[in-house]
């Protein structure tokens, strides 16, 4: 079943989600929600989807970066973004620790801000303590694009969106990004958008 993805302006996107107990996670209702969120994320398509994005204020997100999403991307593009496929998994009640490897800026989109993108600085490495789809404890150590996905989805679980962290001068339609900016290196993007003189 495909769920409706709510758009910016819906109050649920600005509220911290409710934590779930292990017993709640194993319930039929939450297991069904996870499956519906997975289908919705694939259908969109996206690499992550948080429960608040489907109007449900819970600290639960699904993540998957499929190999086919980058099959047409060049090696240099993938290397610069440190992007590799990530298998499907669920994060619940996450606690994130930002690594000390510095930050990186890349354009991000969001299924709840359909049609827009902006340059967003994010930590290059993170550690996340969470519960999985079975309610069992898990620690994730992530870097590169995977770390970015985790930060983006965990923000949603706390009522934040990428527009709270973006470089405002870089906010644009996806259409204009694809037409004017997509193939430019990050250094040129920063210069053209007035972030560097």
Q: What is the pLDDT of residue 62?
A: 98
- Residue with the bigger pLDDT between 59 and 77: it is 59
What is the largest distance, in Å, between two alpha-carbon atoms of the chain? 56
What local confidence, expressed as pLDDT, does residue 135 receive?
A: 98
- Check 35, 68, 80, 153 and give the catalytic one: 153
- Answer yes or no: are the C-beta atoms of 145 and 81 closer than 8 Å: yes
- Residue 71 structure tokens: 């099959």
How confident is the model over 25-64, as pLDDT tens digits?
Answer: 999 999 999 999 999 999 999 999 999 999 999 999 999 9
- What mean pLDDT is reported for the chain? 94
DSSP 114-153: TTEEEEEEEESEEEEEEE-TTS-EEEEEEEHHHHHHHHHH
Cα–Cα distances (Å) from 132 to 59, 161, 166, in that order, read 12, 23, 29
Confidence label for 162 from pLDDT (cuts 50, 70 and 90): very high
Q: What is the pLDDT of residue 143?
A: 96
Which domains are delineated in the chain? Answer: 11-192 (3.90.45.10)
133, pLDDT greater than 90? yes
Stretch (H or E) spanning 190:
helix 186-192
Handedness of CA 112, 86, 141, 132 (dihedral sign): positive
pTM score of the predicted model? 0.94
Note if 153 is an active site residue.
yes
Which pLDDT score is estimated for 75?
85
The pLDDT value given to residue 197: 62
**pLDDT digit string, tens, across residues 105-121:** 999 999 999 999 999 99
Alpha carbons 20 and 165: distance in angstroms, whole number: 27
Q: How many angstroms separate the Cα of 55 from the Cα of each of 4, 87, 182?
A: 8, 25, 31
Task: Quote the DSSP letter at residue 168.
Answer: G
* Cβ proximity of 61 and 96 under 8 Å: no
């Amino acid at each position: 079943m495909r769920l409706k993805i709510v758009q910016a302006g819906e109050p649920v996107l600005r509220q911290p989600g409710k934590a779930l107990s292990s017993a709640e996670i194993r319930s039929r209702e939450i297991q069904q929600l996870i499956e519906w969120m997975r289908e919705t994320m694939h259908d969109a398509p996206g690499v992550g989807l948080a429960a608040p994005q489907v109007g449900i204020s819970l600290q639960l997100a699904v993540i998957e970066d499929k190999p086919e999403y980058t099959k047409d991307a060049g090696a240099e593009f993938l290397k610069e973004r440190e992007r590799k496929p990530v298998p499907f998994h669920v994060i619940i009640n996450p606690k994130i620790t930002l690594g000390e490897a510095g930050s990186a800026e890349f354009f991000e989109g969001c299924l709840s801000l359909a049609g827009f993108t902006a340059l967003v600085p994010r930590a290059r490495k993170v550690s996340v303590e969470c519960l999985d789809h079975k309610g069992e404890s898990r620690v994730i150590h992530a870097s590169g694009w995977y770390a970015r996905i985790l930060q983006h989805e965990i923000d949603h679980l706390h009522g934040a969106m990428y527009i709270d962290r973006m470089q405002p001068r870089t906010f644009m339609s996806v259409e204009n990004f694809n037409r004017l900016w997509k193939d430019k290196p990050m250094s040129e993007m920063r210069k053209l958008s007035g972030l560097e003189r």
